């Protein structure tokens, strides 16, 4: 099956042996990651040919289709996808802004011992999934009201909501203390002023203190709140009522039998 070249807006021929994109290598001694020298030099050669073919034009910004034919000088086993990856990386920022604009491509591997080379064809392509400039639309920032251009990405299919980071999360919101509407200076602001913030902090502290106080156990005889969570009687009741020479459980059991205290099922 042959690969038909697109209606080319750009045709590039690189008269050298096609080389695939090599994996990054790791230096155990220095702990650094580096690229293969020959692979990097081949990408730089491809980028120079792309720059010459573009003739000073800015990169294409719409959807594109690409056709590639790799003529090898031998029958060495080589992965076609790695050859394509080297071309795509070299064309980034030169032929197109980003290779996400390529919506259709075809590649073929051929044998030509006398004239090894790479032929690349680039042309426009329309698609139902917009790319580049086709995915840009005018929007109004909900915070400042300014008009800006929004582009849809895979991470944000609906596009950008605010015109800048300064406007992110700065839409008018109600104050969590007084309920009045205000425009926050940053996306984490919850109160309209410092007074509401301080009052809200005091309120939260009082509520937390009340909750901690309610969680404290009470003396089984007089009902006074105790400091220790595992206590059963206050010190005064213990000294006045508790018989000597018995453990705490025995004393509580005796008080329960006498009906002086209720059962401990209600205790926290």
Mean pLDDT of 59-74: 90
Please give the CATH topology (third level) of the domain spanning 10-124.
60s Ribosomal Protein L30; Chain: A; (3.30.1330)
pLDDT band with cut points at 50, 70 and 90 for residue 134: low
- Give the pLDDT confidence score for residue 48 in this predicted structure: 93
- Report pTM: 0.49
Average pLDDT, integer, range 133-162: 66
Tokens of 170: 């700065």
Report, as an integer, the average pLDDT of 47-75: 90
| Token pair 């969680």 in the structure block, residue | 215
Query: Which SS3 state, helix, strand or coil, does residue 46 take?
Result: helix
More confident residue, 12 or 142: 12
Q: Distance between CA atoms of 216 and 14, rounded to whole angstroms?
A: 82
Residue 251: strand, helix, or coil: helix
Q: What is the DSSP string of 195-249?
A: HHHHHHHHHHHHHHHHHHHHHS-B-TTT-PBPSSTT--S-HHHHHHHPPTT--HH
User: What's the pLDDT at 12?
Assistant: 92
Per mean pLDDT, which range of 34-38, 91-95, 126-130, 214-218 is the poorest?
126-130
Contact indicator for 75, 111 with CB cutoff of 8 Å:
yes
Residues of each domain in the chain carrying CATH 3.30.1330.70: 10-124
Res. 157: pLDDT tops 70: no
Is residue 49 pLDDT above 80, yes or no? yes
Residue 132: predicted pLDDT: 57
Is 64:96 a contact under the CB 8 Å cutoff? yes
SS3 at position 182 = strand
Neighbours of 203 (CB within 10 A): 11
| Predicted confidence (pLDDT) at residue 179 exceeds the cutoff of 60 | yes
């Amino acid at each position: 099956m042959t690969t038909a070249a697109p209606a080319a807006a750009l045709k590039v021929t690189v008269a050298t042996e096609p080389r695939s994109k090599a994996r990054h290598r790791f230096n155990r001694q220095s702990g650094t990651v580096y690229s293969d020298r020959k692979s990097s030099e081949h990408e730089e050669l491809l980028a120079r040919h792309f720059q010459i073919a573009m003739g000073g034009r800015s990169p294409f910004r719409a959807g594109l289709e690409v056709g590639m034919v790799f003529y090898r000088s031998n029958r060495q086993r080589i992965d076609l996808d790695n050859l394509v990856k080297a071309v795509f990386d070299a064309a980034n920022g030169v032929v197109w802004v980003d290779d996400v604009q390529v919506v259709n491509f075809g590649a073929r591997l051929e044998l030509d011992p006398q004239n090894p080379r790479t032929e690349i064809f680039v042309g426009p392509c329309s698609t139902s999934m917009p790319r580049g400039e086709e995915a840009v639309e005018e929007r109004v920032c909900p915070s400042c009201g300014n008009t800006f251009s929004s582009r849809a990405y895979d991470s944000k299919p609906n596009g950008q909501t605010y015109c800048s980071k300064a406007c992110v999360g700065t839409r008018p919101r109600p104050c969590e203390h007084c309920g009045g509407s205000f425009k926050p200076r940053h996306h984490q602001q919850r109160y309209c002023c410092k007074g509401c913030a301080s009052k809200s902090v005091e309120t939260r502290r009082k509520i937390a203190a009340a909750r901690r106080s309610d969680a404290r156990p009470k003396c089984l005889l007089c009902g006074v709140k105790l400091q220790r969570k595992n206590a059963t009687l206050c010190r005064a009741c213990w000294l006045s009522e508790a018989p000597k020479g018995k453990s705490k459980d025995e004393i509580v059991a005796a008080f329960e039998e006498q009906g002086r205290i209720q059962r401990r099922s209600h205790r926290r």
